[in-house]
Amino acid sequence: MGEITPSQQMLASCSGAVITSLLVTPLDVVKIRLQSQTAPVNKCFLYCNGLMDHLCVCLNGNGKDKWYRRPGQFTGTLDGLIKIARHEGVTSLWSGLSPTLVMAVPATVLYFTSYDQMKGKLQNKYGNSSLIPAVAGGIARVGTTTIISPMELIRTKMQSRPLSYAEVTEVVRNSIKTSGIRSLWTGWAPMIMRDLPFSVLYWYGYEVIKPTIPTDSLFLKSFFGGFSAGTIATVLTHPMDLAKTRRQILLGEKVLDRVAASEISTVSILRDVIDRTGFRGVFAGLLPRIAKIGPACAIMISSYEFGKRFFREYNETLSSSI
């Protein structure tokens, strides 16, 4: 009695995804600028907010994408926030929010709901082992990434250059014809290489840290547990985040130039970064990523837990009144 339904879990995660996107998007814009300002790219760039990624055209000239005609180089997070707001307008800090919400919210809903459902099934079968959240988080991330990967590729193609839906259909048809159905999952591997370890580390850390928070407030326990676990997972997985950003920037270039995306190597990109800037180069953009993902994890999980508690109490009240 009082247990929440999958649809209620979806509603709880949906509210968290919207709130998180609104609050942390500016920090992700700065992170991507810091990571891409030394990348050999002049046509397009990758934007992501931790929930979903997409590729946009960089015109540096005439066109609608005026916000990306950025002045000079950014020396850090605060410098980036100030320069973007001053030279490009405050609204530029929320660039790409609309398409992100359209795709990110369903993906986040699927991810959190899958995690809760999987964790419940594993706990019923194997008990309350501390490893179960890590396993459930990893399975949920792989499943979600695999499902949304073709949609992400299609959106990347649409945003890399002006295409009608008919043209997108033709591009996808030609891609399948020349490279097979697996071509729809281009970019899946680097996403998994970053997101799978992050999910495993995050959910394991969250479930271990949360009970140690010295408060009886579920919201505060969830908030600080999510912040701590998210920060730790961010630091440990950041090199792969940078490699994924650079790789998909190059993927956009190669898609535009009709060159096989398989020629891009994550390892070679990391090696190139180290050769150019030293080992510290693989941690470019770490500070804004921590400043984004730490609060994002805290806001997302606390909103989600609060929403679940609301529906659980609602269901208990409803059942007791019957």
Mean of per-residue pLDDT scores for the chain: 76
Name the residue among 30, 28, 19 with its Cα closest to residue 49.
28
The confidence score (pLDDT) of residue 191 equals 73
What are the backbone angles phi and psi of residue 44, rounded to the nearest 5°? -155, 170
> pLDDT tens digits, residue range 185-241?
776 776 787 789 999 999 999 999 999 999 999 889 999 999 999 999 989 888 877
For the cut 80, the answer to whether the pLDDT of residue 250 exceeds it is: no
Q: How confident is the model at residue 66 (pLDDT cuts 50, 70, 90)?
A: very low
Which burial class, exposed, middle or buried, applies to 263 when counting CB atoms under 10 A from its CB (0-12, 13-18, 19+)?
exposed
In this structure, what DSSP letter does residue 70 have?
-
The confidence score (pLDDT) of residue 154 equals 63
β-pair partners for 56: 45
The confidence score (pLDDT) of residue 96 equals 62
> Which two tokens mark 205?
């850390």
Give the mean pLDDT of 99-122.
83
Q: How confident is the model at residue 267 (pLDDT cuts 50, 70, 90)?
A: confident
Q: How confident is the model at residue 119 (pLDDT cuts 50, 70, 90)?
A: very high
Look-up of token digits 């140690």: 212
- 3-class DSSP string for 50-90: CCCEEEEECCCCCCCCHHHCCCCCCCCHHHHHHHHHHHHCH
Using alpha carbons, list the distances in angstroms from residue 270 to 19, 44, 110, 304: 33, 20, 31, 35
CATH numeric code, 6-313: 1.50.40.10
Give the mean pLDDT of 298-302.
90
The predicted model scores a pTM of: 0.69
In the three-class reduction of DSSP (H, G, I as helix; E, B as strand; rest coil), residue 265 is classed as coil
Helix (H) or strand (E) holding 45: strand 44-48
